[in-house]
Structure 1
Amino acid sequence: MGRKKLEIKRIENKSSRQVTFSKRRNGLIEKARQLSVLCDASVALLVVSASGKLYSFSSGDNLVKILDRYGKQHADDLKALDHQSKALNYGSHYELLELVDSKLVGSNVKNVSIDALVQLEEHLETALSVTRAKKTELMLKLVENLKEKEKMLKEENQVLASQMENNHHVGAEAEMEMSPAGQISDNLPVTLPLLN
C-alpha cells in the first residue's frame, strides 16, 4: 500500500500540527546536513516555529559566518528591500506631504501630540532615505554609462591614431618616391662611376 499524497494546507489540529512541524523540521535539518556532506557546501538553516522558538542548523562554517557572508554579498539587495518596504508602508511622497500639510499647517499645529510629531518625523526620514537611495542608484547608473562612453571614445581614439599613423607612413613613402627632378631618390639604386 502506497503513501497517501498529503494536501499542503494548514493543519487545523494543534497537536497534529506540532507533531508534523517537529518531524518535518528534523527531516529538513537532515536534508541540509546531507547537502553539506555530499556537496561540500556551507549550509545555514533557520526555522522559527509558530510559538516563536528558533531552531538552527549550520554545517562547516558556523551560522554567524555564513549569515555574515550572505549579508555582505547581498547588502545592496537587502538595503533596497528595506527601503522599498518602508516606502510601501508610507505611500507616495505626495501623500506624505499632504499628511505633513494637514498636521502642521493652520490651527492643527497646536493640537498635534509629540507622538504624532515623532511618527511624522520618522515618515519624513524614511521618505528622505528612499529618495536618497534612488538618487544614488541613478547617479551610479549615470557614472557607469559615462565610463562606458569613455571606454568607447578611448577605443575610437586608438583606431583614429592608428589610422593617422598608417596615413603618415604612406605619405612619407609617397613623398620619397616623388622627389624633384635632378635629385637622387632614396628608392633608386645609386651607381658609382667606373675607375679606369
Structure 2
Amino acid sequence: MEDRKMGRGKIEIKRIENNTNRQVTFCKRRNGLLKKAYELSVLCEAEVALIVFSSRGRVYEYSNSNINNTIDRYKKATSDAASTYTTQEINTQFYQQESKKLRQQIQMIQNTNRHLVGDGLSSLNVKELKQLENRLERGISRIRSKKHEMILAEIEALQKREIQLEQENACLRGKITENDRLQQLSMVPPGQDHYNEMHAYFARNLLQLNMIEGVPVFSPNVDKKSLQLGLDLLG
C-alpha cells in the first residue's frame, strides 16, 4: 500500500504561465495578504498600509489609518534615515582624513625636531642637510639678535636707575647739609642773636647821628667804645 502524503505539497515559486490559474492565484493570495495585514494591525497595534497593483493595473489597498498619512510618514522616515546615514558617512570620512593629516603632521614635526638636535640625519641627502644647516643658522641669528636687544634694554634700564639714584643722593646730601646748618644755629648761646641785632641797629643809628652833626667819619666801622657805651645806655 502506497504511503500518501497528507496536506498540500510545496509549490515552486515562479510565474504561472496559465492566465486563468494566475488570476485565481492572485485573488486568493491577495485576499490572504489583506487578511494578514488586518490581523497584524489589530493584534500588534501597528500602523499598516498595503497597496497591491494587479497585472492589469487595478489597485487594491488596505490601511488601518489614512493611507496618505501613512505614505507621508514612510517617506519622511526613509528620507531621515537616508540623510542620517549620509551625514554619518560623510562625517566619518572627514574625520578619518583629518586624523590621517594630523598623524602625518605630527610625524613630520617629530622628524624635524630630531634633525634639529642632530639625530636621524642619515635619512637626509646633501640638499636636505644644506637646508637644515641654513635653517639652524637663521635660527641662531634670530636668537642672538633677540639676546642683544634684551641686553641693550637692561643696560638702558640700569642707566636710568643710576641717574635716579644720583638724584636721590644729591637730594639726601642737600638735606644733610641743611640739617647740619640748623644744628649749628641751634648751638648759638641764648640772647646772642638779640645782642648782634641790637649792635648792628645802634651802629647804624650812631653813624647817621654823626653825619647829621658833622662829626667826621674816618672809618665805616663805628668806635667800639661808643658802641659799647650806647649799648650800656640801652641796657
Scaled by the length of structure 1, what TM-score is found? 0.40
* Larger RCO, structures 1/2 (Cα 8 Å, 6+ apart): 1
Scaled by the length of structure 2, what TM-score is found? 0.34
Larger radius of gyration: 2
